[in-house]
Amino acid sequence: MTLNTVAVVGAGTMGSSIALAVAMSELPVVLKDVDSKAVDNGIERIERMIASLVRKGLSEEVAKKRRALIKTTTDVKDIAHASIAIEVVPEKLPIKEAVLSELDAHLNPDAIIATNTSSLPISQLARFTKRPHKVVGLHFFNPAHLMKLVEVIPGLDTDEATVVAVMDFARHLGKLPVRVEECASFLVNRLLGRYMNESLFCLQEGLGQVEDIDRAVCDYVMPVGPFTLRDMNGLDIGLAVARFNFQEYGDRFAVPDILETMVAKNWLGQKSGRGFYIYDPETKKKAGINPDLAAVFKAGNSNGTIQAQRLFLPMINEAFLALQERICKPEDLDPALKAGLGMRKGPLELAADMGLDNCLGQLEELFAKHGERFRPAPLLKRHVFAGHKKVI
């Protein structure tokens, strides 16, 4: 694929960040949205992100050149010449259908249409065009201009040439592209969901308090704790994702009661001023633990002895299930999780450190006690039966 202009359709938070990522790679980009207000808001976001990069060391001269590569429009005809169009509109099927159909009608027949969806099936979205062989998932992580990982997800009808071209495009952006076969929540968010849910189950079971668990996982392998992350992303968003995964995967993705309860109480995290933590209304910074949580979950372990490994066993198990389904190459799994989530070690590395036989033994004990969310993956069993100490 010869790159001339890249179109980014949708000037929201993610679309603006993707447009900046493209410009920072010295490619011209056109940012499109439905009206001038949306486009203006997108440009304001981009200028704030550029200012932040300048504060961190980007020269004013380079910043000015990169900003000049970004054009805007509300007319689809202005992006008809683009080599690739990246759709970044809300995760609602009717909106996706309208946008993808419009792009298909106006883009050059050789142009690739990429979707940044984090949940909708690529094969279904591709049907909204007459070029399903040219439609592919291109899932960036937020903020897209900083995060290195990009998941590349072909649909059933996506040509291999399209996959190769998009992988090369992602590398041009300075990203780590990982090919992921189509499945609900793809790779990183699927594994993340198991760990995030388990943190809530541990809280419900009184195995630790909010700060204990956040601190333990940060000391172990994560850059930020699960409750801090939930508050940042919004508990309502977390609940929607948890329900979706439960619908797609069944009981091992059961939705923790505490999440339902907190959303019903409008404890949504930073945006409502109260989640697992409370937040200063002006600075939005943490101002302590939500004092009303005691009514929702057990008092917990006050001395902070929660074992962080417990929270990662479901993630490790899900990693083996993903490999069993050939969702990605074994050698890509840990790099994807490290680049996408900032983990210092990926789940396969953690499993090797813990011992595959030890992981299996713990999962079997927890399965006997808690049921389906700990049912050991058959592939993990096979590795243990074969005497393997690690996967790769």
How crowded is the C-beta side of 269, counted as CA atoms within 13 Å? Answer: 15
- Per DSSP, the residues of 271-288 read GGTBSSEEE-TTT--EEE
Q: Is the dihedral of CA 366, 367, 369, 373 positive or negative?
A: positive
- DSSP-assigned letter for residue 269: B
Q: In whole angstroms, give the CA distance from residue 114 to residue 182.
A: 14
Residues 6+ apart with CB under 8 A from 369: none
139 is known as an active-site residue: yes
Contact 131, 104 (CB under 8 A): yes
How far is it, in rounded angstroms, from Cα 221 to Cα 350?
9
Catalytic residue chosen out of the listed positions 81, 106, 139, 383:
139
Query: What phi and psi, each to the nearest 5 degrees, are found at residue 137?
Result: -80, 135
Alpha-helical regions (H) of 173-304: 188-204, 210-220, 226-233, 235-249, 257-264
Interior/surface letters 174-208, b for 16+ CB within 10 angstroms, e for the rest: ebbbbbbebbbbbbbbbbbbbbbbbbbbbbbeebb
In what helix (H) or strand (E) does residue 322 lie, and over which residues does it extend? helix 308-324
Using alpha carbons, list the distances in angstroms from residue 154 to 94, 125, 136, 223: 21, 11, 5, 30
Q: Are residues 208 and 356 in contact, defined by beta-carbon separation less than 8 angstroms?
A: no
CB half-sphere exposure, 206, CA atoms < 13 A: 6
Q: Which amino acid is at 301?
A: N
Through-space distance between the first and last CA atoms of the chain, rounded to whole angstroms: 33
Closest CA to 183 of 378, 326, 337, 336: 326
Distance separating alpha carbons of residues 179 and 252, to the nearest angstrom:
25
Indicate which residues carry an active-site annotation.
Answer: 139
